A and B are shown apart, each in its own frame.
Chain A
Amino acid sequence: MSLFHLYLPIAGNSVNILIILALGGGVGLLSGLFGVGGGFLMTPLLIMIGIPPTVAAATDSNQIVGASTSGTLAHFRLGNVDFKMGFLLLIGGILGGTVGVQIIKVLRAMGNANFLIQMCYVVMLGVIGAYMFAESLQALRKARKDTPPPEAGKESLYSRIVNKLPLQTDFERSGVRLSMLLPLILGGFVGILAAIMGVGGGFIMVPIMVYLLRMPMHVVVGTSLFQILFTCADVTIMQSWQNHTVDFVLALLLLIGSSIGAQVGAKLGRKLRGDQLKILLACIVLVVWCQMLYGLIARPDILLAYVKGH
């Protein structure tokens, strides 16, 4: 027995409380700073310390509920949550998630699900990370040179299509005018990917909000956290009910760390410019991408794996 160890009845293992608090704090910091739930980081970290994969993924959703509540509250106080946009993305996300679950069922039956999941991760992380990094680097260089912003040139094809969509409405908090269909469609797309990849989808949602919905970075963070809160609450209840894989004790420890981390992240985020935030997130996404790519092409130590569900 040890004072710093706690037995987790659902995970069926004992963990060091200090390690769990530190993990939660680190990932919560990223959550508050960038508006990502952190599922794509936390789940592999939990597996590394001996938590079964299915329990790690489900419990992570539970802790994200707490972390994103804390983060949303912090951003709401700063006026950084666009509720109108958030609700539309959420509706799209739930519909997309339902479609995604069906897709994964079909792929599992065909035996190709794991390959698709891993390839989705590698492609999405690689494309998003590289684009964000290049774009942010360019913006930072321009800011250093103090060059005036480029004059509005010819409208892009994407802008022309978006402007022609029906149900155009003002999103005051984000300062953009868009069709209500666009967040519904994009939310649906993220929902499908999130269901296939087994994550909250924050790391896909944030770039979509920035580049396709053209929302300011600080509003993106708060709105993303608001949307993630509901997605993960839904996942927590479903996983508890269907699979019994949510370890609440572990989630509580993680969220104590991550909620505090999220608050620190939100405050730290105010001191950084949007471009700086973007390039930092791009670096993290690229590091995770490298790790996943290495995992795909490097020979594993053990050539057997437990069969796990998503």
Chain B
Amino acid sequence: MKIRLLLLFAVLCLSSASAASAQDSVRLTVKPQAVDIGTLYNGTTVQASGAIPADSEAVVRFLGVPSKVHMKQTAKVGGVVWMNTASVDFEKAPSVCIVSSTQDLKKLETTPGPVDDLSLAGLRKSIVIDARECKGLDVFAEFLKMKKKEGLYREVSGNISYGKISKGVKTFQVSIPLPSRLSPGVYTVDVAAVRNGQIVARGQETIDAKLVGAPALMASLAFNHSILYGFLATLIALLAGLGIGLVFQSKGAH
């Protein structure tokens, strides 16, 4: 009898643990899974949807491939002119970083911790900065300003909506605005479920952005047949200039 009771207790413990584990997970679907950068591309939106634990909040990030960025510090020289001076290198800086949340990220964290890492300011921990030559400048803050101005780094709040709660999970949906300055490459949609300032579950999907149509043709010609591209660009410019000149001549001839 005792053995039976012990076995029943063990089964109950296991099933309860597996239910908790199922609740502390993220289900994620991204549409479309590929972004076509065609002639009329001017930014687009990606829809991400899925489910997170019912008592958590979703933070969704759209991230570009981390790469190295070489920059120069602008500093006053001789007390008069502002010039590019010292070199600054940023390694592992994502080409794009768009953070979506239901509300201001600061409200989701109780103490500075893992949630803070999800914000743009949190990139300070992941980007490796070599600013040995720079003096008295918060180069990361300037880097963020630059990327925000270019529209490549953004924090959007209030663009996540939640659906019904069922069996300890709730559905979510988010429209992620992609910038017009999007380069071809593989991007990641990363969803974090946040509860009491802690990340309790994460999910990721990738999106492939590629050039199509005329932009793809032009890029292929420019990078793979560059001399031909240069001659063609010059020739067409010459002919267009002549053509417009002749049109004006015929209109001007009375």
Contact = CB atoms under 8 A, between A and B. Distances in A.
A244 B80 CA distance: 36
Most buried by B among A67, A237, A249, A300: A237
Contacts of B37: 7, 9
A263 B71 contact: no
Contact of B242 (A9, A70, A238): A70
B227 A256 contact: no
A246 B235 CA distance: 14
A7 B75 CA distance: 34
Contacts of A301: 145, 149
B157 interface: no
Most buried by A among B73, B139, B241: B241
Contacts of A302: 74, 142, 145-146, 149
B13 interface: no
B181 to A, nearest CB: 4
Contact of A240 (B74, B150, B230): B230
A69 B240 CA distance: 9
A77 interface: yes
A3 interface: yes
A68 B238 CA distance: 9
A304 B219 contact: no
Contacts of B214: 249
A297 interface: yes
A6 B39 contact: yes
A13 interface: yes
Given A252-B236, A302-B145, A302-B146, A70 B245 contact: yes
Interface string B147-168: 0011000000000000000000
Contacts of B1: none
Contacts of A300: 74, 82
Contact of A115 (B39, B83, B150): B83
Contacts of A77: 249
Interface stretch (A58-66, A102-110, A143-151): A58-66
B180 A69 contact: no
Interface in A238-277: 238-242, 244, 246, 248-249, 251-252, 255-256, 259-260, 263, 267
B230 A263 contact: no
A14 interface: yes
A237 B222 CA distance: 11
B230 A246 contact: yes
B218 interface: yes
Nearest to B224: A244
A246 B229 contact: yes
B244 A259 contact: yes
A74 interface: yes
B82 A12 contact: no
A7 B215 contact: yes
Contacts of B42: 1-2, 5, 7, 14
B72 A10 contact: no
Most buried by B among A71, A241, A304: A304
A304 B216 contact: no
A7 B238 contact: no
22 contacts: A1-B40, A5-B42, A9-B37, A9-B211, A14-B43, A50-B150, A66-B241, A68-B241, A73-B246, A73-B249, A77-B249, A114-B83, A237-B231, A240-B226, A246-B229, A248-B229, A255-B240, A259-B244, A296-B83, A300-B74, A304-B73, A305-B74
Given A118-B83, A298-B82, 12 more contacts: A7-B180, A12-B181, A12-B182, A14-B180, A236-B234, A237-B231, A240-B226, A240-B229, A252-B236, A260-B248, A295-B82, A301-B149
